[in-house]
């Protein structure tokens, strides 16, 4: 399996969510069970779409769904019961007909100016299809608006560098 090599770059369009680690998410060693990291990633992905004005319901209303066709995740360090973690989601620029997102899950930081310890990294690849399963050759209207918003954000981030 190919290892995930990238990290979120400062000029990538991203969003971050803060999540508490609940008792129900840990195993008998008080470490987060590996499957819950997918929930953290999903929370960040939902926030990413929502922050850009597009909900899953709006995509469905526009006859568009975006299933994840590939997921890769690497666990680097454990999250623990009672911690507050952050999950960050970023669009990977210029990936072609797919919609590729990269994620970082980090532990708490003692210094608010510095990120916490990197606990997990992940990548997802999504495709845009209609309800019958046919892929779109060009972005459907709700996704076209999403791409325009992402492009504008990435240009603004690049100008700040």
Structure confidence by residue, pLDDT tens digits, 57-72: 888 888 888 899 999 9
pTM tops 0.75: yes
The pLDDT, as a whole number, for residue 5 is 66
| Residue 108 domain flag | yes
Residues 149 and 5: beta-carbon distance below 8 Å: no
Q: What's the pLDDT score for residue 42?
A: 96
Helix (H, G, I), strand (E, B) or coil at 38: helix
> Do the domain assignments include residue 146?
yes
Residue 59 lies in a domain: yes
* 7 within domain boundaries: no
Cα–Cα–Cα angle for 124, 127, 128, rounded to 5 degrees: 140
Quick one: tokens of 124?
Answer: 């997802």
Structure tokens at 76: 């680097």
Domain with 62 in it? 14-160
* 70 class by beta-carbon count within 10 Å (0-12 exposed, 13-18 middle, 19+ buried): exposed
The pLDDT, as a whole number, for residue 9 is 79
pLDDT the model gives residue 6: 65
H or E stretch covering 45: helix 36-51
| Secondary element (H or E) of residue 155 | helix 141-160
The CA-based angle 129-134-138, given to 5 degrees, is 60
pLDDT at 95: 63
Which CATH number is 136's domain given?
A: 3.10.129.10
Residue 8, in any domain of the structure: no
Greatest C-alpha distance within the chain: 50
| 100 is a domain residue | yes
Reduced to 3 states, what is the DSSP secondary structure of residue 66?
A: coil
Q: Does some domain include residue 19?
A: yes
The radius of gyration computed from the CA coordinates of the chain, to the nearest angstrom, equals 17
Q: Please tell me the total count of domains within the chain.
A: 1
Residue 112, in any domain of the structure: yes
Per-residue pLDDT of the chain (161 residues; tens, 9 = 90+): 667 766 787 778 899 999 999 999 999 999 999 999 999 999 999 999 999 888 888 888 888 888 999 999 999 999 999 999 999 999 887 666 788 999 999 999 888 888 899 999 999 999 989 989 999 887 777 788 888 888 888 888 778 76
**pLDDT for the residue 1:** 60
């Amino acid at each position: 399996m190919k290892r995930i090599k990238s990290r979120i770059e400062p000029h990538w369009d991203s969003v971050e969510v803060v999540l508490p680690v609940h008792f129900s998410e840990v195993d008998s060693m008080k470490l987060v069970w590996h499957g819950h990291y997918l929930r953290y990633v999903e929370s960040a992905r939902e926030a990413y779409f929502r922050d850009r004005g597009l909900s899953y319901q709006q995509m469905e209303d526009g006859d568009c769904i975006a299933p994840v066709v590939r997921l890769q995740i690497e666990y680097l360090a454990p999250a623990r019961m009672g911690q507050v973690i952050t999950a960050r989601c970023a669009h990977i620029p210029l990936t072609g007909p797919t919609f590729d997102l990269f994620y970082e899950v980090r532990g708490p930081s003692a210094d608010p100016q510095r990120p916490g310890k990197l606990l997990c990294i992940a990548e997802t690849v999504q495709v845009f299809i209609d309800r019958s399963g046919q892929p779109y050759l060009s972005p459907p209207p709700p996704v076209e608006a999403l791409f325009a918003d992402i492009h504008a954000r990435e240009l603004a981030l690049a100008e700040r560098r």
